[in-house]
Amino acid sequence: MPSRSHRAVFPPASASGLVRRFTLSSLALAISTTLLATPAQAYSDIYLFGDSLSDSGQFPDTTLGGLNSLRFTNRSGPDYENSAYGSVSTQLLATELGLAAEPSTSVIYQLAGFSDGTNYAVGGYTTAQILASVTDEDGSEVVIPPGSSGAGTVLRVEDGYLVSTGGSADPDALYYVNGGGNDFLQGVITSPATAVASAGNLASAVEALAAAGATTIMVSNLPDVGSTPAGQSAGAAQAAGTSALVGVFNDALGARLAALDGEVNVIRLDTVGILEEVLASPAEFGFASDVPLTQVCFSDSCNVTPYGLGGTAEDPDKLLFNDGVHPTTAGQEILADYAYAMLAAPSVLGLAPQLGTGALNASQRSLGDELRPGAQDRRSGEGVRVFAIGSASGGTGDGETSSGQQGFDSEQRGAGVGVMLPLDNALGQAWGGVAVSQRNADFDVDDGSELELEGQVFSLFARQQLGRFGVQAVASYGDFDYDLDRHVALGQSSRTLSGETDGDGFSAEARLDYRLTAADSLWYNAPFVAYRHTESDIDGYTESGSAANALIVSDQTLRDRRVEAGFMVDRAIAEGFGLYAELAYGKRLDDDADSAEVRLASLPTNAYRAEDLDRGSDNYLRVDGGWRMQLGRNAMLHLGAGIETWDEVTARGEVGFSYTF
């Protein structure tokens, strides 16, 4: 992050205590924490702008002192009074991404000599202050909010983010914006018109980031303030009015954000919807079902249940709210998981087209084995051969995505039948035919998602001998059904988002080899080159299973082009057996696969996608081998196996039976 000058600091009365408690041991702990190994980072950094829901520690914790910071959630156990505050959702999200969400303008960090962080969210901020923290000189101001002791006292001031960077935003970073609650609590929003104006401030912050170069911006809608303990305490009529104005705010925010659709990735978060799901089934998320969760809290005036601080069954994880408006750490975890799922979704769903290209490529490989010279009847011009073949392959893979490293286990299965016809002509021996196969494939993703394909592949194929040259071609068309289940963790609970759709694809391969052995030899040994073009298309669909999580997924297309060069050894059946082996070096010609383009079904104003799915290497080595056994005069059994590897490994096996008439 660019260096930032330090301006006037107005420390609280306990600032000297902060310095006294700054010990070598606490410094060592802070340093060691920053050196811990982190997951693969797909974003260069994370920048956050908002209010207390995102504040990771701008204010000092005057109870514990030292390097401890105030966060707007419950303290950690076991006593929940004399320990540090738990993490808020933005910290948890950053950790999942292998990043940090340290406060940007903390007086503690300044006194301790720590570098400032990238989290500009400050407890008490209205939307006007959030906008200033993005765009204004001296816009990042940590000031004690109204209603607190010392309200109005400024602890530290720094420039807003875009001022500190000279007006540019890191295009490789993730940006997060939330706010609006304090506009209600501080009396800024009192009517539909003021709700629209406040939403405009938040939208202006997003627009400023986009104009400065930000490409991925996560925007949370405003939670229903009327359904919090503070909102409920005002009475049913007032709570209903507040909820209605929250709706106006969110609608106005969405209308402004819609103008950015197609220009930048705006990731909408439906916090109203996700909290409604929690309240509809609290026990599923680990919360108490015997208390009104929107009216009670853990450690404020609404602490009136046995689960509250000092209660007979003290447990903040049983309650959604820590105080009148802020979630407990259990609620923070749900919000973090929800945000992470929205980031990860395009990458997970973007794997689906690989099921189609994989099915087509597997079919091409099997038919290539049936086309080998040694598999044909050596009596020129005689014999129609029918065959049945089954194959299976599996492996593991991963790729760097917007949510980090996305790993998966893959499996392809197929069974087919075909007929091979002699097509000898004036140019030389030739054969060709048709085949149809049933294909099944699935990906089991590390996050619990399961992507499945079922369908048929129809193929035409032929091979022509031209003296020492051999030319063969295979063309296939696939018709597929997809069942795509995306798993989403939400605190102690989870959701499965299901999508069903159709797709198709085609694959065409051409191969040229040069025979080194004599025409009458049992052996066909030859160097070869090959080119294959495969495409897979999936129709768009809408997920079901959770109103707040369901996505509208656009059409997807994946192209897989590859070239190979290698050497083949093929022995025709004699004395009851035959065999073949092949070694090839291959290179993929296309860019990394695209992630899926999605938009939140409940807030469909903006589409977004993640970074491309990085497969690691474009190169691969392939080794295949097989054994043929004569069964009587006209029947043959074929067993084959192979492996494709470089930085990932895929193994395959097949068994085939044929009969020549």
325: Cβ–Cβ under 8 A, 6 or more apart, which residues? 52, 181, 185, 225, 228, 229, 230, 231
515: Cβ–Cβ under 8 A, 6 or more apart, which residues? 468, 469, 470, 524, 525, 526
In angstroms, rounded to a whole number, what is the distance separating the alpha carbons of residues 235 and 226? 10
Length of the chain: 661
For residue 608, what is the enclosing H or E element?
none
Q: For residue 214, is it left (φ>0), alpha (ψ between -120 and 50) or beta?
A: beta
Q: State the CB neighbour count (10 A cutoff) for residue 134.
A: 25
Spatial contact of 71 and 85, defined as CB atoms under 8 Å apart: yes
Catalytic-residue membership of 533: no
- Catalytic residue chosen out of the listed positions 106, 224, 227, 326: 326
- Catalytic residue chosen out of the listed positions 323, 369, 398, 624: 323
In angstroms, rounded to a whole number, what is the distance separating the alpha carbons of residues 132 and 204? 10
467: Cβ–Cβ under 8 A, 6 or more apart, which residues? 428
Phi, psi of 201 (to 5 degrees): -60, -45
Token code pair at residue 321: 């709210």
Phi, psi of 179 (to 5 degrees): 155, 175
128: Cβ–Cβ under 8 A, 6 or more apart, which residues? 188, 198, 201
Spatial contact of 448 and 417, defined as CB atoms under 8 Å apart: no
In angstroms, rounded to a whole number, what is the distance separating the alpha carbons of residues 406 and 649? 16
Could you give the count of Cα atoms lying within 13 Å of 124 in the half-sphere of its Cβ?
18
- CA–chain centroid gap for 483, Å, is 18
DSSP-assigned states of every residue in 513-538: EE--S-TTSSEEEEEEEEEEEEEEEE
Token code pair at residue 549: 């999580």
Q: State the CB neighbour count (10 A cutoff) for residue 292.
A: 12
Distance in Å from the first CA to the final CA of the chain: 75
Q: Which residue from 444, 433, 354, 353 is spatially nearest to 389, judged by alpha carbons?
A: 433
In angstroms, rounded to a whole number, what is the distance separating the alpha carbons of residues 356 and 455? 9
Spatial contact of 116 and 99, defined as CB atoms under 8 Å apart: no
22: Cβ–Cβ under 8 A, 6 or more apart, which residues? 66, 67, 111, 112
Residue type for position 40: A
- Catalytic residue chosen out of the listed positions 45, 52, 89, 337: 52
Catalytic-residue membership of 198: no
Report strand pairing: 649-660 vs 635-645.
antiparallel
Beta-sheet strands, E only, within 349-492: 385-401, 404-422, 430-445, 450-466, 469-490
Q: Which residue from 484, 470, 594, 586 is spatially nearest to 535, judged by alpha carbons?
A: 594
Residues with a known catalytic role: 52, 323, 326
